[in-house]
Amino acid sequence: MKLKDCYFIGHISRKHGFKGDLLVKLDVDDPSKYKKLESVFIDRKGRLVPFFLSSCKLTQKGFLHIHIEGVDTETEANKLQKCGLYLPLSFLPPMEGNQFYYHEIEGYKVIDKTYGEVGNITEVINQAVQPLFAIQNGEKEVLIPIDDSIIDQLDRENKVLYLNCPEGLIEIYLD
């Protein structure tokens, strides 16, 4: 399985006890959807390795308490700390209307109601407080905050995202 075919659900935060149990800090909208996982892919030095889970439950603090088959000691559990957990994109339910997954809209053309064609989405920057569309327009990059209020329409068939950006936002980058 390749990283581009998967999505990140969280990372192993720390071990729990002395028998190989681990706590996963989830980075998902609805943690309850992940409380019955049977397997995951773990990022081991850039390679996704499949692991089966013998137990998986959601804690009161929103962590996922897991036990990986074959990981039965504190030493083995220590080797997996800070590793990322992934699931195949096929596990995601399809979105409808103007809702989308960030990975899904890369490559979409962006058309603003006032400005016109802005460019193509190269990535979604999700490390900031406010996620951003990174849009390439020739040699320039346009960054637009992702907010439901500016999304007019998502045309999945033609891969076009129609926006209604605040006046002057796009011109800051392109004029």
CATH code of 140's domain: 2.30.30.240
Give the separation between CA 25 and CA 9, rounded to whole angstroms: 9
The answer to the question of residue 97 being in a domain is no
Give the separation between CA 134 and CA 46, rounded to whole angstroms: 25
The count of structural domains within the chain is: 2
Residue 53 belongs to what domain range?
3-91
Residue for token pair 């990283």 = 3
Choosing from 40, 56, 91, the residue where a domain stops is: 91
Q: Coil, helix or strand for 158? A: coil
pTM for this entry: 0.74
Which token pair is 46?
């850039």
Task: Clarify whether residues 120 and 82 are in a common domain.
Answer: no
pLDDT tens, position by position, 115-168:
999 999 999 998 768 899 999 999 999 999 999 999 999 999 999 999 999 999
Task: Clarify whether residues 67 and 108 are in a common domain.
Answer: no
Pair 31, 114: CB distance under 8 Å: no
The answer to the question of residue 82 being in a domain is yes
Query: Would you state the pLDDT for residue 94?
Result: 86
Query: Would you state the pLDDT for residue 166?
Result: 95
pLDDT tens, position by position, 63-83:
999 999 999 999 999 999 999
Residue range 3-15: mean pLDDT, rounded: 92
Choosing from 69, 91, 113, the residue where a domain stops is: 91
Choosing from 91, 119, 151, the residue where a domain stops is: 91
Whether residue 62 is predicted with pLDDT greater than 90 in this model: the reply is no
pLDDT tens, position by position, 87-122:
999 998 888 899 998 889 999 999 999 999 999 999
Pair 121, 143: CB distance under 8 Å: no
Task: Clarify whether residues 87 and 106 are in a common domain.
Answer: no
Query: Would you state the pLDDT for residue 37?
Result: 95
Residue for token pair 């959601």 = 58
